Amino acid sequence: MKFIISSVKLLKGLQALSGVIGSKNNLPILDDFLFQQTENGLKITVSDLEVTMSVTLQPDMMEGTGEVTIPARILLDIMKNFSDVPVTVSVDTDTLAVELLSGEGRFKLVGHKSDEFPQIPAMENTQTWEIPAGVLSAGFEKTVFATGNDEVRPIMSGVFVEMSENYMTFVATDAHKLVRYRRLDVHSDVLASFIMPKKPINQLKNILAGFGEEVVKVEFNQTNASFLFGDYVLVCRLVEGRYPNVEAVIPQNNPNQLIIDRQLFLSALRRVAVFSSKATRQVRFRISGQELLLTAEDIDFYNEAKERLTCNYSGDDMEIGFNSHFFQEMLSNISSENVKLEMSAPNRAGILTPVESENANEDLLMLLMPVMLN
């Protein structure tokens, strides 16, 4: 088994897959890349048992067929240190000795048998969607930060993905904050939903961003989902359970509305938050007239901060407290110049939305529960 390939091309494929490899694997074989050479090309696969991802590359030259697993860390480390040069990889399928040749360099390492490498789960009774890569990337990017880490409620550790006749919806919540992202330009006759775990989402969203309008084939059933795009295939286990009805928790009547420059708001919030309690991260919003006063204090260390901002406000004067870390996350994941904060009462959730939108087919809503004022 032998092939010649550009070092940059091989490294790009390996790096795209490397995020799947866990830091502490119970099975040593999961620390390896699986290389399979056939007449159709060179297929490289990684797995952590929950997520399996592969890429098929076309080397400049191939001889023979076969498969071997190669330790990921040492292979990545050596490939990172090549310039853009052809690399010859030879594998003795009897001894599993792996040799890399590049210029005057010769590097030898030992591969492993592929027998124990996990098989991609067979998927039956599946449904299929075809979605532009940019839509999936944006949906995951806008929502994954709001997922939770509560092992007691695993459904909140993933992103809820739903398709309807009129739009596609992505939802994430950890019970303190909630994000709902809709795309009005994507819909399907296949009405279904599933909950995607956080790890495969983080693996997908950055790669998908480079595929733009290229279509991703999403195939799924009750337990697994596969994503096929370009030369990549990702298969993951889905989160089991029923996602909460998020529409029921979004307050509909919010007479107090504040519009403000997003970047000025975010910068001020970051400055004031430095002085907040490390336990609660509470920042107090005092709104009156066309003025927003942000205040924070840490009684244990006698720290205090105040900053005034001009805003466009309609409604009753009010004071409300929010977790500054959560609020900064939300503002950082909105791209519009101005944002709108809608509120009804100090003990009811606030709703944050962009005022302007680069894409008329996007509908983004972020909800944040208030914290009790000291």
Place of tokens 């992505």: 170
Whether 56 and 34 have beta carbons less than 8 Å apart is answered as: no
Q: What is the mean pLDDT of the chain?
A: 95
Question: Does 47 score more than 90 pLDDT?
Answer: yes
Identity of the residue numbered 319 = E
Residue 93 in tokens? 């399928």
Q: State the Cα–Cα distance between residues 173 and 160, nearest whole angstrom.
A: 9
In the chain, the percentage of residues whose pLDDT exceeds 90 is 92
User: Counting Cβ atoms within 10 Å, is residue 50 exposed (0-12), middle (13-18) or buried (19+)?
Assistant: middle
What are the backbone dihedrals phi and psi of residue 111, each rounded to the nearest 5 degrees, phi first?
A: -90, -175
Using 50, 70 and 90 to split pLDDT, how confident is the model at 300?
Answer: confident
Give the containing element (helix H, strand E) for 131. strand 127-132
Whether 148 and 130 have beta carbons less than 8 Å apart is answered as: no
Q: Write the DSSP symbol of residue 348.
A: S
User: In whole angstroms, how far apart are CA 239 and each of 13, 62, 101, 120, 242?
Assistant: 27, 40, 44, 18, 9
3-state DSSP call for residue 166? Answer: coil
User: In whole angstroms, how far apart are CA 54 and each of 36, 239, 363?
Assistant: 10, 21, 33
pTM: 0.94
pLDDT for the residue 333? 96
Question: Does 187 score more than 80 pLDDT?
Answer: yes
Using 50, 70 and 90 to split pLDDT, how confident is the model at 150?
Answer: confident
Residue 172 in tokens? 């994430």
pLDDT digits (tens, 9 = 90+) for 225-281: 999 999 999 999 999 999 999 999 999 999 999 999 999 999 999 999 999 999 999
User: In whole angstroms, how far apart are CA 144 and each of 99, 174, 178, 266?
Assistant: 41, 11, 10, 20
Q: State the Cα–Cα distance between residues 167 and 176, nearest whole angstrom.
A: 26
pLDDT digits (tens, 9 = 90+) for 326-347: 999 999 999 999 999 999 999 9
In the chain, the percentage of residues whose pLDDT exceeds 70 is 100
The count of residues in the chain is 374
Domains and their CATH numbers in the chain: 2-110 (3.10.150.10), 127-248 (3.10.150.10), 250-368 (3.10.150.10)
End-to-end distance of the chain based on CA atoms, in angstroms? 69
What are the backbone dihedrals phi and psi of residue 123, each rounded to the nearest 5 degrees, phi first?
A: -115, 125
